Amino acid sequence: MNIPKANATSKDVAKLAGVSQSTVSRVFLPGSSVSEKTKNKVFAAAKTLNYRPNAFARSLTTNESKLIGLVFPDTDYPLHMKTLQLISSELQKQGYSAVLIPWQVDDEALHSIPNIFQYRVDGVIAASATFNKSLYEECAEFNIPVVQFARVVEGTRSSHVVSDNYAAGQTAAKHFHNNGVKSAIYLTGDIPTFTNNERKAGFCSEFESLTNKQAHVVEASFDYTEALDKIRVVLSQVNRPDGVFCATDNIAMALMDVARLEFGLKIPDDLQVIGFDNIPQAEWLNYQLSTFNQDFKRLARESVKIIVDQISQNDSTLVKLMLPANFIERKTTR
Partner DNA sequence: CTGAAAGCGCTTACAG
Question: Which residues are at the interface with DNA (CB under 7 A)?
Answer: 7, 9-11, 19-23, 25-26, 28-29, 32-35, 37-39, 51-54, 57-58, 60-63
Which residue number, 42 or 87, has a Cβ lying nearer to DNA? 42
Q: Is 300 in the site for its own copies (CB under 8 A)?
A: no
Binding site partner of 141, from DNA, its own copies, none, Cβ cut-off 5-8 A by kind: its own copies
Which residue number, 52 or 133, has a Cβ lying nearer to DNA? 52
Phi, psi of 82 (to 5 degrees): -60, -45
Which residue number, 79 or 321, has a Cβ lying nearer to its own copies? 79
Binding site partner of 201, from DNA, its own copies, none, Cβ cut-off 5-8 A by kind: none
Report d(CA 20, CA 69) in Å as an integer.
35
DSSP string over 192-256: --HHHHHHHHHHHHHHHHHHSSPPEEEE--SSHHHHHHHHHHHHHSTT--SEEEESSHHHHHHHH
Region 139-168 residues binding its own copies, contact defined as CB under 8 A: 141-143
SS3 of the chain: helix, strand, coil, percent, to 5:
45, 15, 40
Q: Is 1 in the site for its own copies (CB under 8 A)?
A: no
Residue 19 and residue 38 in contact, taking contact as beta carbons nearer than 8 Å: yes
Q: Is 109 in the site for its own copies (CB under 8 A)?
A: no
Which residue number, 61 or 212, has a Cβ lying nearer to its own copies? 61
Binding site partner of 9, from DNA, its own copies, none, Cβ cut-off 5-8 A by kind: DNA
Q: What is the dihedral of CA 40, 41, 43, 48, to 10 degrees?
A: 140
Report d(CA 252, CA 274) in Å as an integer.
7
Which residue number, 43 or 77, has a Cβ lying nearer to its own copies? 77
Q: Is 326 in the site for its own copies (CB under 8 A)?
A: no
CA distances from 298 to 77, 161, 217 (A): 19, 9, 31
Residue 247 and residue 222 in contact, taking contact as beta carbons nearer than 8 Å: yes
- Where does this chain bind its own copies (CB under 8 A)? 4, 6-7, 50, 52-60, 65, 67, 70, 72-82, 84-85, 88-89, 92, 95, 97-100, 102, 104, 112, 114-120, 141-143, 224-225, 228, 253-254, 257-258, 260-262, 280-281, 283-286
